[in-house]
């Protein structure tokens, strides 16, 4: 491979990497409606397209589920403040909520 072609490929890969890092992932109302009780966390995160953040006991978000009683609660937040929360027990979806999703 010519030296110039190698540099072009490296530049293209670097650009793709930067684009992926700067992309803001969004959770939508359609994602929320796709959830079903009994789904695993991995299935839920797969539908949304990215992992959620764990809510610790005592933390909350607008319209969200509060962590308590051995539930693991995850939140997916959008830049505009809209969000989806999902509660899991034994890695199975048991409850979810959303605030202002489009």
Which pLDDT belongs to residue 19? Answer: 39
The number of residues in the chain equals 102
DSSP characters for 12-56?
HHHHHHHHHHHPPP---HHHHHH--TT--HHHHHHHHTSPPEEEP
Which pLDDT belongs to residue 39? Answer: 98
Which pLDDT belongs to residue 70? Answer: 83
pTM, 2 dp = 0.74
Which pLDDT belongs to residue 4? Answer: 53
pLDDT averaged per 10 residues, the chain (length 102)? 50 42 76 98 98 90 84 96 96 96 96
Which pLDDT belongs to residue 45? Answer: 98
25-99 belongs to CATH 3.30.1450.10: yes
CB 38 within 8 A of CB 93: yes
């Amino acid at each position: 491979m010519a030296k110039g072609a190698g540099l072009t490929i490296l530049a293209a890969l670097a650009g793709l990497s930067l684009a992926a890092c700067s992309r803001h992932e969004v959770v939508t109302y359609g994602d929320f409606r796709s959830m079903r009780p009994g789904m695993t966390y991995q299935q839920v995160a797969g539908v949304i397209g990215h992992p959620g953040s764990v809510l610790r006991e005592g933390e909350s978000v607008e319209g969200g589920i509060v962590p308590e009683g051995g539930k693991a609660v995850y939140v997916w937040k959008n830049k505009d403040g809209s969000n989806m929360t999902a509660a899991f027990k034994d890695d199975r979806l048991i409850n979810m909520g959303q605030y202002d999703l489009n």
